[in-house]
Chain A
Amino acid sequence: MGRKNVGSNQKKKIRLLLVGNPNAGKSSLFNELTGLNQQVGNFPGVTVEKKSGNAKIAEHLSAEVIDLPGTYSLSPRSEDERVTFDYLNQKRPDNKEEIIVVIADASNLRRNLLLCSQLIDLNLPVILALNMMDIVQKNKQSIDIKYLSETLSIPVVPMNARLGKGITELKANITKFARKDRPPFISIIEGEKPIDNAQRRNQRIREIVAKAVTAEGEMKVNDLTRKLDAILTHKVWGYAIFLFILFLIFQAVFSWSEFPMQMIEEGFLFFGNFVAESLPPGVLNDLLVDGIIAGLGGIIIFIPQIAALFAFISILEDTGYLSRISFMMDGLLKKFGLNGRSIIPLLSGAACAVPAIMSARTISNKKERLLTIFITPLISCSARIPVYTLIIALIIPAEASIGIFNLQGIVMMALYLFGFLAAIGTSFFMKFFVKTNESSHFIMEMPIYRAPRWKNVGYTIVNKVKVFLFEAGKIIIAISIILWILSSYGPGDSFEKIDEKYASGLLEPNINNETMEEQRASAKLQASYAGQLGKFIEPAIKPLGFDWKIGISIITSFAAREVFVGTMATIYSVGDADNTTSLKEKMNQAKDPVTGEKIYTKATGYSLLIFYAFALQCMATVAIVARETASWKWPVIQIIYMGALAYFASLITYNLFS
């Protein structure tokens, strides 16, 4: 290891910055170079933060590759463009040699060359990668690469980043890259207005492109795109198709996923029992089976649903349809203080609020961006699915229906609808309070339609599920352990007292052994630290129909909502001798010790559903909002607002149903 071949084998490492217009294929090229799987999508503004990876360029040359958000020019208009602008301007301490690879969509050469010309005039080391050459060919055009390279005095490489064509040539050009003096692209005029400068630039670009591109026909929009747009943005069909797609997603998530979910659930019960039997009984066994396996199992069964959700969103994005939804919804959303671009955060918020909130960076108007960030967590995210599913199954019989519609499905759909209505309602109300003097625009490039790349969709699913599992898994394991400790031990000698009481057999003499064991366990749980905590907040949540056990779950859910299921599993299995019954059955059998009534009545169930629909119980969201708004003010307002909304909506719901 380490030092062989010193001298003969000097390794050099440089830095490659991938810069270009949005949707030109920067992340596709990044993936080809680094072997990583950065998100790629047929939508301007997929990448909103800087990402880096490593690539081998030649035998002794490697590179740190930086994928940057797309930008149309060097005057940033939105936060994602600013990331690129700042990175280009930043001085980096390591003084690595840097080369800027400008990725240009060759089928839109004129527009894409503007940024390149600006970089040339900053006297930066530039290589031009002409991407999407397959489309140029399909349009029966050809580009004179040699002419372009000579006129611009920079290396020009034709490529197809989607298929990985031209990568070798690009690497060769990087390896032999040498800085040389170039004439400026346009002459410098002191004190020139930006618009005049851009005009002159474009004049020159036009002349160059006219010579470089030979076209048999005139440039025109791809026919398929035109035909699809006529239907997909049609004033009747457009909306009908959008609603149908939403319905389809709903079906996929809530009906088609049922079968794989059942298999996972059964697998976990089996696994839990297996572990419980193979390990010697005791503290470790309980923690493993009741806390961790039950908690993780509660989450893993939702993988099919989450995968289905991400698959659909990824397909919508990869085809180019997502930008059409923005186009159709802008007119409506602007009445609510939002922007057509807000549709991306709002839709992807159904999967997870964290990336959704980041994608709001593409909204240039500060007020619209802030409103979008503020309301996105009200959209029911995938972490609510476990909670909704468990409670709905608990309070509504599977066969209940209204007309031909299954009641469970209707309630689920209603929860999503409430979330959405609360979101846009909040925005409508907030738009009067948040002030801005920026004007509002919706100027957006509409990409041509493309067939989705299934490999890409597959990667997205795997990546997202992985993140979900690991992030949620970490929190669940940590909370399970803490909770298990807190519910297995109590302050002072409270536990011994309970044992004594039961041991002396003074309580109701003619009770059978099993019932007594159960009573003893529940008395202990109540006396434990966790029980005390739940009891402490019980008065506050009693009006919503929640008991102290639900109280414990609400507290732990502040880390992340999906912890609810694990917490319930832990609470209901501490002291449960055999783990044969599922959590649902245990909760179903739960009775109020005083009145003997069922705890999970319709009223309590509906109230709990509404609470989870509205409350901001997700630390990751709080953190991302703080980062994106660069202040703690907004996350704090958000927590209080959503908390109050959840509390009062639950209060009303509970009273309505009881």
Chain B
Amino acid sequence: MSNFIHLSEAKKGDFVRIESIDNEKLSVQLLCMGCMVGEIAHIEQIAPLGDPMMISIDGSLLSLRKSDAREVIVSQLKK
């Protein structure tokens, strides 16, 4: 089986599948912006200071802080 990690641990260039979002309020907010369980995310950029990160889902770009990305559990996919 694929291994689960926090989105915050994903590296630039990784493809991941979103498995669950722990924080309920956050998950509603992310969901409204297109980031939800089952979607495939591509890690596009990590900001120069290591935070925030920019991911793309379904063709649109979203940036979020590592502190929020830590609440998102993802599984790594093959590139």
A75→B28 contact, CB < 8 A = yes
Q: Are A443 and B30 in contact (CB-based, < 8 A)?
A: yes
Whether B54 contacts A219 by the Cβ 8 Å rule is no
| Contact A445 B51, beta carbon cutoff 8 Å | no
Within 8 A of A (CB), among B33-60: 33-34, 36-37, 42, 44-45, 47-52, 54, 56, 58-60
Contacts of B36 on A, CB cut-off 8 Å?
A: 199, 202
A330 in contact with B51 given A442-B65, A445-B33 (CB within 8 Å): yes
Q: Are A233 and B59 in contact (CB under 8 A)?
A: no
B32 neighbours in A (Cβ, 8 Å): 72-73, 111, 114-115, 198
Residues of chain A lying within 8 A (CB to CB) of residue B64 = 441-444
A509 beta carbon closer than 8 Å to chain B: no
B-side contacts of A75, CB under 8 Å: 28
Select B28's contact among A108, A194, A328, beta carbons within 8 Å: A194
Q: How far is the CB of A322 from chain B (nearest CB, A)?
A: 13
Contacts of A447 in B (CB 8 A): 61
Q: How many residues of B contact A (CB 8 A)?
A: 32
Instruction: Using known A-B contacts A233-B47, A233-B54, A330-B47, determine if residue A198 contacts B31 with beta carbons closer than 8 Å.
Output: yes
Q: If the complex has contacts A195-B24, A219-B59, are A111 and B48 also in contact, measured as CB distance less than 8 A?
A: no
- Roughly how many angstroms separate A647 CA and B24 CA in the complex, as a whole number? 49
A234 within 8 A of B: yes
Query: Contact at A195–B28, with CB atoms within 8 Å?
Result: yes
Cβ-neighbour of A202 out of B31, B48, B52 (below 8 A): B31
Q: Assuming the A-B contacts A107-B59, A108-B60, A443-B64, are A330 and B34 also in contact, with contact meaning beta carbons closer than 8 angstroms in the complex?
A: no
Chain A proximity of B7: nearest CB distance (Å):
12
The answer to whether A91 has its CB under 8 Å from any CB of chain B is no
Question: Which of A123-131, A221-229, A590-598 lies at the interface?
Answer: A221-229
Q: Report B-chain residues with C-beta under 8 Å of the C-beta of A115.
A: 32
User: A79 CB to closest chain B CB, in angstroms?
Assistant: 16
- Contact between A446 and B61, CB atoms less than 8 A apart: yes
A328 touches B47 (CB 8 A): yes
Question: How far apart are the CA atoms of A393 and B60 in the complex, in Å?
Answer: 50
- A340 within 8 Å of B (CB atoms): yes
C-alpha spacing A75/B28, complex, angstroms: 10
Question: Nearest-CB distance from B60 to chain A (Å)?
Answer: 5
Neighbouring B residues of A233 by C-beta, 8 Å: 45, 47-48, 54
Residues in chain B within 8 A of chain A (CB atoms): 24, 26-34, 36-37, 42, 44-45, 47-52, 54, 56, 58-65, 68
Interchain residue pairs with CB less than 8 A apart (9): A107-B60, A114-B31, A198-B28, A219-B59, A220-B56, A236-B48, A238-B48, A442-B64, A445-B61
